[in-house]
Amino acid sequence: MCGIVGYVGSEQAAPILVDGLRRLEYRGYDSAGVAVREPNGIQIVRAVGKLRNLEKALEDKHLDGSVGIGHTRWATHGRPSKVNAHPHVAGPIAVVHNGIIENHLELRAELEAEGVQITSDTDTEIVSHLIHREVTAGHDLVTAVRRALEHVDGAYAIAVLSETDQERIIVAKSSSPLVLGVSEGASYCASDIPALLPYTNEMVFLEDGEVAVLEAGGFSISTLAGDPIHREAQKISWSPVMAEKAGYKHFMLKEIFEQPRALEDTLRGRLDRENADVSSSEIGLTEDDAKSIRRVILLACGTSHHATIAGKYWLEELARMPAITELASEFRGRDAVVGEGDLVIAVSQSGETIDTLMAAKEAKERGAKVLAIANVNGSAIPRMADASFYTHAGPEIGVASTKCFMAQLANLLMFSIWLGRRRGALSEGEAGELVEGLARIPHLIDERLKSTHETVAELARHYSGARDVLFLGRGLSYPMALEGALKLKEISYVHAEGYAAGEMKHGPIALLDAEVPVLVLAPQDRHYERVCSNLQEARAREAKIIGITTAGDLRAQSLCDAFVEVSPTVEALSPFVTVVPLQLYAYCVADHKGTDVDQPRNLAKTVTVE
């Protein structure tokens, strides 16, 4: 996690660095710092806490220079403190780092034995001393960085500045993300695209094992061994406005309201309504691939994992394809059975989650084919995959994922329809109904968003004091219940559990009393009758029932203390509409409690540590 940024050009560097850090703050926000190369040496300003503390510190200390690096931190090694905040300095060298140096203890002992004074608890400071050691031995900065990194095991994206070198920044990467940007007379680097969007949309993705030199006049890339690499910049289609709040109180609320647009963009050009199908050219796999798949393994973490559970249900039902879901962190290193004939679908908003990346790599090494579903073009998971089927939700800034989840659902459903058609499991009529229904979903969500927000805000005010909340659903509503509970937990810090409604009586029913709100997803699908029974079981324990019901379903509504209506859909499409009130519920409870909705405590948007 953590965000890094760098600038070389002719403008004042500090405001550009701080602006970039603001756009990266979702990656970590327990301390921040910048280093700027001034005529008389490198000046560093660091502050604990949110970026505004760094901005305050910069009001007192003006930095004057047009080359600099910056960092926003999510603590791994060493608690959040000024001394542990980046940039870290050794002699004339300043370094910012995202990732984890696995052998840092060993390297620390080695450096200390050589008499080096290490002042922080971080693994990053070790890197700055390693580079300094090489510079002291007479190597130029680029060679020093290369030689220093030979000693390092682990994940890193680093940016290095030296007061004795020319006006340039050296960057390198292994496993952690790093994108370079170029514009007339300036070069940039950042952990993620949105940090650079106000300055350029000409970007280059650095690959693992590469080093780049950024100068005002451009950049050059080489391998760690020093072999030059030619790579053209590519145009990124995201606009800076897409990464702004546009008048909403929080990014999360904006992103919930953007879901119809995110879905439309994700579906665009992919639904073949004439042939009741999904366009093959968009999926990334061939017709032959479709025939050779014997099993699908869906790998993901967190919210993306919840999307994959819906994906499994769709693949089984619509394509008659055996499918299993795996938490990527549990799949890794346990010697899971995977190999030829398996299609691994790695689902990740960021495309950088280390557990998903490494689990997919492991599966690929054992002979599985890997299809990536990711939202960030050119990110690590699509780059390692055999094929990619991107979601087009636009940049997601709120740490709690909403619109990307919605887009992941769309891609997983489209893939299931595509596979179902190729395997003869889905008739033209059935596929047609799904394709037409899916095309209407953005409108169905859009027409209810405002009124749902109002209803849910009222409910959230009423129930925001609850200590525990239960979310129940069956079938496709089960992963939505899991997602509703995760959203509430992460941004409002309320204890919440998502459960398969049928499992309630096997344990969680013991939690129920008059103080516990239970959100029951009760769309009118094949599980409806049984869900209504579960709802009554909870009611009999005096729990307060909030139903997510189909519009006009008076029967279910009469069993609830309160209800939210969703539009009727074909059964397979219900997750798209039922999850929206749950996202809004979490948002409204958090907003009512006054938590930091977009940057909840202890979390980070992109999880690049294991």
Instruction: Cite the active site residues.
Output: 2, 605
Q: State both tokens at 165.
A: 């070198």
412 lies in the site for ligand F6R, by CB under 6 A? no
**Residue 161's beta-bridge partner residues?**
94
Contacts of 504 (CB under 8 A, 6+ apart): 470, 472, 534, 537, 538
Near ligand F6R by CB under 6 A, which window of 158-166, 227-235, 347-355, 572-580?
347-355
Identify residues 464-493 at the interface with ligand F6R (CB under 6 A): 486, 490
72 lies in the site for ligand F6R, by CB under 6 A? no
> Alpha carbon of 204 to those of 166, 173, 236, 238, 531: distances in Å?
23, 13, 10, 14, 51
User: Is residue 322 reached through a cis peptide bond, with omega within 30 degrees of 0 on the bond before it?
Assistant: no
Q: Give me the least distance between CB of 483 and ligand F6R, in Å please.
A: 8
Toward ligand F6R, which CB reaches closer, 66 or 303? 303
Q: Out of 126, 400, 511, 518, which residue is the one contacting ligand F6R (CB under 6 A)?
A: 400
Q: Out of 302, 394, 475, 508, which residue is the one contacting ligand F6R (CB under 6 A)?
A: 302
Tell me if residue 567 falls in helix, strand or coil.
coil
Q: Give me the least distance between CB of 57 and ligand F6R, in Å please.
A: 30
304 lies in the site for ligand F6R, by CB under 6 A? yes
Query: Of 431, 41, 161, 46, whose CA–CA distance to 273 is shortest?
Result: 431
Near ligand F6R by CB under 6 A, which window of 71-79, 94-102, 182-190, 298-306?
298-306
Q: Out of 142, 262, 301, 426, which residue is the one contacting ligand F6R (CB under 6 A)?
A: 301
191 lies in the site for ligand F6R, by CB under 6 A? no
Toward ligand F6R, which CB reaches closer, 243 or 486? 486
Contact 514, 543 (CB under 8 A): yes
353 lies in the site for ligand F6R, by CB under 6 A? yes
303 lies in the site for ligand F6R, by CB under 6 A? yes
Total residues in contact with ligand F6R, by rule CB under 6 A: 15
Q: State both tokens at 231.
A: 């790579």
329 lies in the site for ligand F6R, by CB under 6 A? no
Q: What is the DSSP letter of 271?
A: E
Residue 249: other Cβ atoms inside 10 A: 12
Distance CA 249, CA 588 (A): 11
Residue 551: other Cβ atoms inside 10 A: 13
401 lies in the site for ligand F6R, by CB under 6 A? yes
Distance CA 394, CA 266 (A): 9
Near ligand F6R by CB under 6 A, which window of 35-43, 259-267, 296-304, 331-339?
296-304
Q: State both tokens at 276.
A: 């009741």
Q: Give me the least distance between CB of 64 and ligand F6R, in Å please.
A: 38
Contact 413, 314 (CB under 8 A): yes
| Contacting residues toward ligand F6R, per CB under 6 A | 301-304, 348-350, 353, 356, 400-401, 486, 490, 606-607
